Structure 1
Amino acid sequence: MKEKAGRSYEPASSEFPEVLAKLTYDQHRAIRFNPDRSLWKDQGGNYRLQAFHPGWLFKEPVELFEVVDGKARPVHFTGADFIYGEPLVPSDFKDIEMPGIAGFRLHHPLNTPEYFDELIVFLGASYFRSLGKGNVYGLSARGLAVDTAIAGPEEFPRFSRFYLERPARGASEMRLYAELESERVTGAYQFTIKPGANTVVEVDARIFLRDDVQRLGIAPLTSMFLFGENDRVGFDDYRPEVHDNDGLLILRRNGQRLWRPLRNPDALALSFFAEEAPAGFGLLQRDRSFDHYQDTEAKYQRRPSLWIEPVNDWGKGQVMLAEIPADKEIHDNIVAFWVPEAGTEAGSEHRFTYRMIWGRDPEPGTELAKVVATGTGHGGAAASDPDPKLRKFVVEFGGDALSGLGADAPVEPRLSLQKGSVKHSFVQRLEGGTWRAVLDIERDDEEIPVEFILALQLNGADITETWMYQWSGQS
């Protein structure tokens, strides 16, 4: 892939069977892989592979190779490997020559020993997503992001070829390799997948730039936040919250934890958190109560969190969070990734190694109390007339560092603001041991966002993680 970066990009062949190219959304979703044709099904191992059918949106074929004893052999699929439901006619696909596949998924006995659950899926550009025990699919990851949320167009590199090591009988982990390519980048990736209550995916990414890139995004995460307890303006819905994840957590090298609740803004909102050699970051779904979602189909309380833990030194850079306006839950409107400070010119090379931890609770432990809820509403007294420049923010913290304190403990807020001022604030202990900070904030200008930093202190030392927020628009 390094050698390829010195040559011009060659897109996938435009030759594509007409019967596949003309597939509509409804026709494509009527095709499913025949589980009896799963790769490695008859070898008695812990992994099985099923392919996704090309066509509809997936017109750039992906090549697949099986690696046995260090040698790679191509794996081909035909129409006989798939089941064609109505409105399709199976005979139309009987003798078709597949140019490749759209992607694939690995199955593994994740939740019970008897059933091969879906474990990880690679489908579309460099997108993939995985599950921990008891999860249902939610956020996605990507191999690389190129020029996301800049003035010009975004570039979407794609995994064009995969090499999968044939899993040994009884193997607990799975290893595969991928080639990544686009007009301005190439990449060589190694993935080591370790299923469990939290599924760990170890990534070794070698990235080579063909041309200059304005913003390189490492370990990109893509999620959905429509509305939640802190931001539901304009949504008339019986469900209290609709989101795959509710916050961005950043663990700094010095142990400080930054929690940023997600929002669905009125306009594109970008936030940058400058770091050096970060200990980790991720998009989390902390709220696990069904009562807070009330959705028996989407099961948002079971969506996975995803934690990124760097292994090598990532140097100086920024964690970028992009929040994009969305009016439906079908849109992934949240993006987060690491932006290295330097080395995005043509000819530069990068190596990033990191762990991805997918599951119900992958974030690292801490003695600090965590943010457990964020609420907002119009400022002032309950009976006062709303003032667009005044808003109330209610932040609740919970954890051992707070639960043992009495209501008279000298807990104080550490609060800083940009483009706003505090009109009224207090901290109080709630029943059950959580603590609440209540802030009435007046903004300087309705067109300029107010930036918050808040933590609770005891005797001058932080006893909670740091809550960060941006007030723009109405919420």
Structure 2
Amino acid sequence: MILTQTLSRRHVLAGLLLSTALAPNLPAAQTAAPTETPFSFEDLKREMKTRAALPDTPPALLDTFLDELSYDDYRNIYFRPEAARLMQPVTRFRLEAFHPGWLYKKPVKIHEIVDGVARPLTFSTKDFEYRNEVAEKLPEAPSLPGVAGVKINTPFNTAEKYDELITFLGASYFRALGAGNSYGLSARGLAVNTWRSGPEEFPRFSAFWIQRPTPEDSAIEVYAALDSASVTGAYRFVIAPGADTVIDVEAELYFRETVPHLGLAPLTSMFYFAEHSERRFDDFRPQVHDSDLLRMVRTSGDVLVRPLNNPPRVSNSFFADDEIIEFGLVQRDRSYEAYQDAGAQYHDRPSVMIDRVGDWGPGKIRLIEIPAKLEIDDNIVLLWVPDEAPQAGETRNYRYRMHWGALPADGNGELAYVYSTRTGVGGASGVPVENPNLRKFVIDFQGGTLGGLNPEAQVIPVVTASAGEISNPVLHKIDDADQRWRLFFDVDGQDAELIELVAHVADQERKLSEVWLFQWVREVTAGSEN
């Protein structure tokens, strides 16, 4: 299904984050809570359930010098590493804070849990370094009502340096890293009415509780309160750093109102262009994206991959497949040469795969692709949508496991993986185009059982299209050393504005490759080339 909307998602996010409340939304009777309080996940669930019976009342905007911080001011404020928390006793984890101000004008309260008791973690201007002009704006006795968010560091790249592991900042957004990664796509705690008719609602993490780790702990536990106009939630994150960082998430949601379109385990990324793109702009780099594939795994072992697009209009894809138990956004190209960008380091961006845990009930995976004019536009959204909309007064519990890291394709597995996708003008190369609706698709499959077969093996390309006409499918082995096979075919799009393509390689008994999916969104203009 294709939806046409003109508003850039980047503008929507920017506008909403400017006004997003990031402070605890406690009822008035609870604002004078004691300094130390018993804490458990069950306690947090009960509090959030009680809160759901009351209207959402975000706190007022800051009224200090923080209101006036500009972008340039904000980027000149640094947290002092020596002020990191969770350092006593010495552990694998250190916690730093983000200064309030600029986009983040409403504070988050942070707590530390020790022996089942929660104590506030307070931060002051002494924990930050104010450089250049912003130092001159600092009042004589400034105070911080809270912080904008938190960052947890751990030495999982080298033993000598505490590297960034995970950041919680803005609404319910968070980002994590595996070893050797640089920040790319983001996750959210929850999405409400994303790209539907009417405004999108952005739930916020309003407070955090961090379990103080022991020196022996290899994982750290973070709890969060989620608030929004239509829902509250109690969240638990168990974060284990490594080559692939694993995050176990449990979310218990309490609905103030009926939510027509709930998005679970949401991911937000950027796709500008790649080898398969019909490029509408010039750029010296061969690819620019944080993620290039949607990847889904069925209980049968089938793997579905769909190259992402930067479409000419907003595109929605739904995958209603009860057998899909894993899904996520993948950055498959891992060489610098694939991007030629020494600054952005797109080849190091993490992939994220999500394993559903327990019974989520019937639902579907939704992929939203939004036109991006610049590479700063977050134009890809992935989420899981339950078929039954939650009703006011209802409670739901969801658990899932997230894998953040390079997550390289397994060339030694049974299935050959999609190594690359390319597209171009259809027909024979080097001759004038006779049919402007004809387009060529070229898919390289690498590794697996297929990769080890000789070039004369009896393997079959299986290609289908939802519209138009497929012609000249050819499959051959192109590189014995890399165990790579190439499938190419032409599609006559005729007058279709959208064509869904599916392809894989098989023998007489089974699939030998991942299943390649592609959505060809066409700008059909009479008498013009596509």
What TM-score range do you get, normalising by the shorter chain?
over 0.9
Normalized against structure 1, the TM-score is what?
0.96
Match of 2:484 in 1: 434
Match of 1:325 in 2: 371
Take 1:67 and 1:17, find their aligned partners in 2: how far apart are those partners?
Answer: 30
Q: Tell me which moved more, 396-405 or 150-159.
A: 396-405
Indicate yes or no: 2:443 matched with 1:395: yes
Question: Once the two structures are superposed, what CA deviation does each residue of 1:71-105 show, in whole Å capped at 9, x if it has no partner?
Answer: 11111111111100112125724522212111010
Match of 1:421 in 2: 469
Contact 1:429 1:436 in 2 (8 A): yes
Take 2:359 and 2:417, find their aligned partners in 1: how far apart are those partners?
Answer: 27
Match of 1:134 in 2: 180
Amino acid at match of 1:453: V
Pick from 450, 459, 462 the counterpart of residue 499 of structure 2: 450
Pick from 204, 210, 213 the counterpart of residue 167 of structure 1: 213
CA displacement at 1:363 relative to structure 2: 6.9
Contact 1:307 1:363 in 2 (8 A): no
Contact 1:247 1:262 in 2 (8 A): yes
Question: 1:138-153 to 2 correspondence within 5 Å?
Answer: 138-153=184-199
Contact 1:258 1:468 in 2 (8 A): yes
Take 1:171 and 1:29, find their aligned partners in 2: how far apart are those partners?
Answer: 33
Question: 1:47-196 to 2 correspondence within 5 Å?
Answer: 47-89=93-135, 92-196=138-242
Take 1:366 and 1:95, find their aligned partners in 2: how far apart are those partners?
Answer: 62
CA displacement at 1:362 relative to structure 2: 6.5
Question: 1:456-475 to 2 correspondence within 5 Å?
Answer: 456-473=505-522
Take 1:371 and 1:93, find their aligned partners in 2: how far apart are those partners?
Answer: 58
Contact 1:307 1:362 in 2 (8 A): no
Question: Once the two structures are superposed, what CA deviation does each residue of 1:200-219 show, in whole Å capped at 9, x if it has no partner?
Answer: 01101111211111211110
Contact 2:65 2:137 in 1 (8 A): no
Match of 1:369 in 2: 416
Indicate yes or no: 2:305 matched with 1:259: yes
CA displacement at 1:138 relative to structure 2: 0.6
SS at structure 2 position matched to 1:301: helix
SS at structure 1 position matched to 2:344: coil
Take 1:386 and 1:375, find their aligned partners in 2: how far apart are those partners?
Answer: 21
Question: Once the two structures are superposed, what CA deviation does each residue of 1:267-311 show, in whole Å capped at 9, x if it has no partner?
Answer: 101100012263200101111111111111111111110010112
Take 2:313 and 2:509, find their aligned partners in 1: how far apart are those partners?
Answer: 38
Q: Tell me which moved more, 83-92 or 73-82.
A: 83-92
Indicate yes or no: 2:68 matched with 1:22: yes
Contact 1:209 1:348 in 2 (8 A): yes
Match of 1:281 in 2: 327
CA displacement at 1:234 relative to structure 2: 1.5
Contact 2:413 2:449 in 1 (8 A): no
The verdict on how the C-alpha distance between 1:349 and 1:268 changes in structure 2, with shifts beyond 3 A counting, is: same
Question: Once the two structures are superposed, what CA deviation does each residue of 1:224-274 show, in whole Å capped at 9, x if it has no partner?
Answer: 110100115122111100011110001112222110001111110110001
**How many equivalent pairs are there?**
473
Contact 2:187 2:266 in 1 (8 A): yes
Question: Once the two structures are superposed, what CA deviation does each residue of 1:408-451 show, in whole Å capped at 9, x if it has no partner?
Answer: 212112222112211322111112321111110011424x2000
Take 1:33 and 1:93, find their aligned partners in 2: how far apart are those partners?
Answer: 18
Amino acid at match of 1:422: I
Take 1:202 and 1:348, find their aligned partners in 2: how far apart are those partners?
Answer: 24
Question: Once the two structures are superposed, what CA deviation does each residue of 1:294-337 show, in whole Å capped at 9, x if it has no partner?
Answer: 11111111111001011212221111111111011111111101
5+ unaligned residues in a row in structure 1: which ranges?
none
Q: CA RMSD in A?
A: 1.6
Q: Tell me which moved more, 318-327 or 454-463.
A: 454-463
Pick from 428, 435, 457 the counterpart of residue 409 of structure 1: 457
Take 2:61 and 2:477, find their aligned partners in 1: how far apart are those partners?
Answer: 67
CA displacement at 1:106 relative to structure 2: 0.4
Match of 2:8 in 1: none
Contact 1:164 1:177 in 2 (8 A): yes
Q: Give the fraction of aligned pairs with identical amino acids, expressed as a percent.
A: 45
Take 2:362 and 2:393, find their aligned partners in 1: how far apart are those partners?
Answer: 20
Question: Once the two structures are superposed, what CA deviation does each residue of 1:7-46 show, in whole Å capped at 9, x if it has no partner?
Answer: 21111x2141331011111111111111111112343111
Take 1:112 and 1:387, find their aligned partners in 2: how far apart are those partners?
Answer: 57
SS at structure 1 position matched to 2:324: coil
Pick from 382, 395, 403 the counterpart of residue 349 of structure 1: 395
CA displacement at 1:386 relative to structure 2: 6.2
Contact 2:415 2:512 in 1 (8 A): yes
CA displacement at 1:366 relative to structure 2: 4.3
Take 2:391 and 2:359, find their aligned partners in 1: how far apart are those partners?
Answer: 20
The verdict on how the C-alpha distance between 1:277 and 1:405 changes in structure 2, with shifts beyond 3 A counting, is: closer
Indicate yes or no: 2:356 matched with 1:310: yes
Match of 1:245 in 2: 291
Contact 1:253 1:276 in 2 (8 A): no
Contact 2:273 2:309 in 1 (8 A): yes
Take 1:174 and 1:3, find their aligned partners in 2: how far apart are those partners?
Answer: 27
Amino acid at match of 1:378: V
Pick from 334, 339, 342 the counterpart of residue 293 of structure 1: 339
CA displacement at 1:60 relative to structure 2: 2.1
Amino acid at match of 1:440: D
Contact 2:151 2:166 in 1 (8 A): yes
5+ unaligned residues in a row in structure 2: which ranges?
1-47, 524-529
Question: 1:231-242 to 2 correspondence within 5 Å?
Answer: 231-242=277-288
Take 2:271 and 2:321, find their aligned partners in 1: how far apart are those partners?
Answer: 25
Take 1:381 and 1:189, find their aligned partners in 2: how far apart are those partners?
Answer: 56
Question: Once the two structures are superposed, what CA deviation does each residue of 1:371-397 show, in whole Å capped at 9, x if it has no partner?
Answer: 110000111112122643111001111
* Consecutive aligned runs of 4 or more in structure 1 exceeding 6 Å deviation: 362-365
Q: Tell me which moved more, 430-439 or 222-231.
A: 430-439
Contact 1:285 1:304 in 2 (8 A): yes
Amino acid at match of 1:55: G
Take 1:277 and 1:52, find their aligned partners in 2: how far apart are those partners?
Answer: 41
SS at structure 2 position matched to 1:275: coil
Contact 1:343 1:349 in 2 (8 A): no
Contact 1:227 1:235 in 2 (8 A): no
Q: Tell me which moved more, 381-390 or 210-219.
A: 381-390
